[in-house]
Amino acid sequence: MSDFSSMGLNEPIISAIKKLGFNEPTEVQKKSIPLLIDKPKDIVSLAQTGTGKTAAFGLPILHHIDMESKNTQALIIAPTRELCLQITSELKKYAVNFKRLNIVSVYGGSSIQEQAKSIKKGAQIIVATPGRMLDMIKRKYVNISKITFCVLDEADEMLNMGFYKDIKSILSNTPKSKKTWLFSATMPNEVSKIAEQFMKNPYKITVGEKNSSSINVSHKSFLVNNRNKYSSLKLFIDSCTEIYSIIFCRTRRETQKICEKLIEDGYSAGALHGDLSQNQRDLVMKSFRIKQIKILVATDVASRGIDVENITHIIHYKIPDEVEIYNHRSGRTGRASNKGMSVLFVTSSDKRKIKSIENKLKIKIKSSDLPSKNEVFENQIKAYFEKIRKTPINADIEPFLSTINQDLSIISREDLIAKITSLEFERKLNALKQDDVNKSDKKTVRDLRYQINLGTKDYYNWQNLKDFLTEICSLNPGDIYNVDVQKTKSFFNSKPEHKDLIFNVFNKFEIDERPIRVNITNKRGQKDESSSYHKERSFRKGKRKKSKRSKRNF
């Protein structure tokens, strides 16, 4: 027996959701459904996206609907067309056993007459966007004067979108006796205002860490420009004594690029995005959970629902367009009673978005300055020696120390410290110098960009092409990067020192009698250079003769 049975829902509903694989109610369902079944009154329910709110209001509505009556008994208002359709389709799944039930969705951008027709047949439940609903009320296509329930789903989002007046006006057409159920991910002032104005002594339910981002999270922003964004990110990471972080990027491509650069620069990072296979994603997540990887670079979509403990920093490499996404991202840190930090790298054009996040979540995002490279470096060295100072001496080491002491007796204490520091921080020091070199003369050290005549046509994507190249050239995964696969050709970067190796491998390389060639290109952006275009064309012309045979093996 599922827990749903003990909530008092009727049998046709229970059997439908069982078939959907709903074995146990989610938290918001556990808290809301019994109240709404037993003594339905107004309710304000706060829970994050993906917590099952649709069923939390949908199941009690279905339970209470009088299937014999064709009157509209419930109105569900949601901010967008997509949501209306999603809610309608969910409700229909829960209601498969109710043959006489008619659920109609009503939204803009689609024929109002058709929607009116469906409602005329008798719609016990209407799922609507505010604008279209108001329009239908004005044209008298709907009668909501007898509804028992009115749900405001994603109330915060509706108010963000400026639907306050429409909602107010819709509610004024509903009977006083109806119950209003408000569901929202956050509880900004406007939502409280709606609750105060239109609801009577509502039940209040909050699930999870709710609303405005957790009080354990502090918010910081760094103003950067696109050119120094990546080096600023590195500097920030370097300035943290401890980091276990998710860096959010906007696109899969950017996610991969940032991750590759971090790995190349010696950070323990892994990427998570939709271009990876399920296996690869599982592997990355496993390494991240056991802290083998300390930095996860991810897209919002791929990391949805990820719940990892003890994250110290959430980094927004790109500020999200929606406040809710910001809230979801930063909610990954500061869990339990831990402290966390949410860090934004922003450009001057992001100012309005920051204001909007601050206002809606009622938080302060502190605009901060990055420390200088030298400060960061100095702190790292200090932290390193502090760690040494605090390390207890392991007794097992004793027998080995006398020879070492003897060997090192000729080195002064100062020299020893200097040598250890040089050894430990050589890479960092070089990177520091390198960055300075790049600043004064951008052209000095440059990776080489290669073009290869393999592409999506040959069933390559950036991942398997990178695998192929590293394997065939016996290079490490970090040695091939910025892989950009196009239809018939692809591009990748590598360090100048690998040039001879790569050219040697592809000197006489063939796949199924087809010569595979690489050449160095100046191309850095999307557009092709005319010279490589000609090479490509002449190659294709040449290939055509035997293409029939060679194509299949890719």
Please give the size of the binding site for Mg ion, defined by CB under 5 A.
Answer: 1
Residues 33-92 close enough to bind ligand ADP by CB under 6 A: 47, 49-55
Minimum distance of ligand ADP from residue 357's CB (angstroms): 20
- Does residue number 107 form part of the binding site for ligand ADP (CB under 6 A)? no
Helix (H) or strand (E) holding 384: helix 373-390
Three-class DSSP category at 545: coil
Q: Which partner in ligand ADP, Mg ion, none is near 55 (CB below 5 to 8 A by kind)?
A: ligand ADP
Choices 25-33, 51-59, 116-124, 399-407 (CB under 5 A): range interacting with Mg ion: 51-59
Nearest residue (CB) to Mg ion, 191 versus 502? 191
Say how far apart CA 76 and CA 170 lie, in whole Å.
11
The verdict on 22 binding ligand ADP (CB under 6 A) reads yes
Pairing of strands 74-77, 125-128: parallel
CA distance 336 to 498: 48
- Cβ proximity to ligand ADP: between 51 and 245 the closer is 51
Applying CB under 6 A, does 152 fall inside the site for ligand ADP? no
| Binding characters for ligand ADP, 241-270, by CB under 6 A (x = yes) | ------------------------------
Q: Which does 124 bind (CB under 5 to 8 A by kind): ligand ADP, Mg ion, none?
A: none
Q: List residues bridging with 221 in a β-sheet.
A: 344, 367
175 binds, among Mg ion, ligand ADP, none (CB under 5 to 8 A by kind): none
Q: Of these partners, ligand ADP, Mg ion, none, which one is at the site of residue 14 (CB under 5 to 8 Å by kind)?
A: none
Q: What is the 3-state secondary structure (H, E, C) of 445-476?
A: CCCEEEEECCCHHHCCCHHHHHHHHHHHCCCC
50/29 Cα distance (integer angstroms): 12
Backbone angles phi, psi at 124, to 5 degrees: -70, -30
* For ligand ADP, the closer CB: 54 or 211: 54
Residue 490: closest CA among 499, 478, 498, 482: 482
Measured from the CB of residue 357, what is the shortest distance to Mg ion in angstroms? Answer: 21
Q: Could you tell me which stretch among 49-57, 200-208, 319-327, 379-387 binds Mg ion (CB under 5 A)?
A: 49-57
Give yes or no for residue 26 binding ligand ADP (CB under 6 A).
yes
Burial 91-101 (b: 16+ CB within 10 A, else e): bebbbeebeeb
* CB closer to ligand ADP out of 21 and 392: 21
Whose CB is nearest to Mg ion? 53
Q: DSSP string covering 262-292, please?
A: HHHTT--EEEE-TTS-HHHHHHHHHHHHTTS
Contact range with Mg ion by CB under 5 A, out of 33-41, 52-60, 89-97, 356-364: 52-60
Least distance to ligand ADP from the beta carbon of 107, Å? 17
Which residue type is seen at 530?
S
Q: Where are the beta strands (DSSP E) in 362-475?
A: 365-368, 448-452
Helix axis angle for 229-239 and 373-390, nearest 10°, is 30
- Closest contact distance (angstroms) between CB of 81 and ligand ADP is 15
**Residue whose structure tokens are 């600023």:** 232
328 binds Mg ion (CB under 5 A): no
Helix H or strand E encompassing 105: strand 103-106
Contact partner, 221, from Mg ion, ligand ADP, none, Cβ < 5-8 Å per class: none
52 binds, among Mg ion, ligand ADP, none (CB under 5 to 8 A by kind): ligand ADP
CB nearer ligand ADP, residue 28 or residue 346: 28
Residue 279, CB half-sphere, CA atoms under 13 Å: how many? 1
| CA distance linking residue 289 with residue 512, whole number of Å | 42
Q: How many residues bind ligand ADP (CB under 6 A)?
A: 13
The 10 Å CB-count burial string (b at 16+, else e) for 272-310 is bbebbeeeebeebbeebeeeebbbbbbbbebbeeeebee
The H helix count followed by the E strand count for the chain is 21, 20
- Considering the complex, state which of residue 9 and residue 144 has its C-beta at the smaller distance from ligand ADP: 9
Q: What are phi and psi of 47, to 5 degrees?
A: -160, 150
Q: Least Å distance between CB 5 and ligand ADP?
A: 13
Nearest approach in angstroms of CB 99 to ligand ADP is 22
Burial call 322-359: b when 16+ CB within 10 Å, e when fewer: ebbbbbbbbbbbbbeeeebbbbbbbeeebeebbeebee
Of 229, 255, 185, 246, nearest in space to 350 by CA: 229
From the list Mg ion, ligand ADP, none, pick the one residue 51 interacts with, judged by a Cβ distance below 5 to 8 Å according to partner type. ligand ADP
Given 4, 42, 52, 53, the residue binding Mg ion (CB under 5 A): 53
22 binds, among ligand ADP, Mg ion, none (CB under 5 to 8 A by kind): ligand ADP
By beta-carbon proximity to ligand ADP, the closer residue of 29 and 299 is 29
Q: Among 224, 484, 227, which residue's Cα sits nearest to residue 370?
A: 224
Residue 24 or residue 396: which is nearer to ligand ADP going by CB?
24
Closest CA to 181 of 164, 165, 210, 204: 204
CA atoms of 315 and 295, how far apart (whole Å): 10
Per DSSP, the residues of 36-52 read HHHS---EEEE--TTS-
Least Å distance between CB 90 and Mg ion? Answer: 9
Residue 25 interacting entry, from Mg ion, ligand ADP, none, C-beta within 5 to 8 Å by type: ligand ADP
**Residue among 25 and 130 whose Cβ is closer to ligand ADP:** 25
Q: How far is the CB of 105 from ligand ADP (least distance, A)?
A: 15
Which residue, 24 or 369, has its beta carbon nearer to ligand ADP?
24
CA distance 207 to 132: 31
Name the segment binding Mg ion (CB under 5 A); options: 53-61, 207-215, 251-259, 427-435. Answer: 53-61
Binding positions for Mg ion, rule: CB under 5 A: 53
Binding positions for ligand ADP, rule: CB under 6 A: 22, 24-26, 29, 47, 49-55
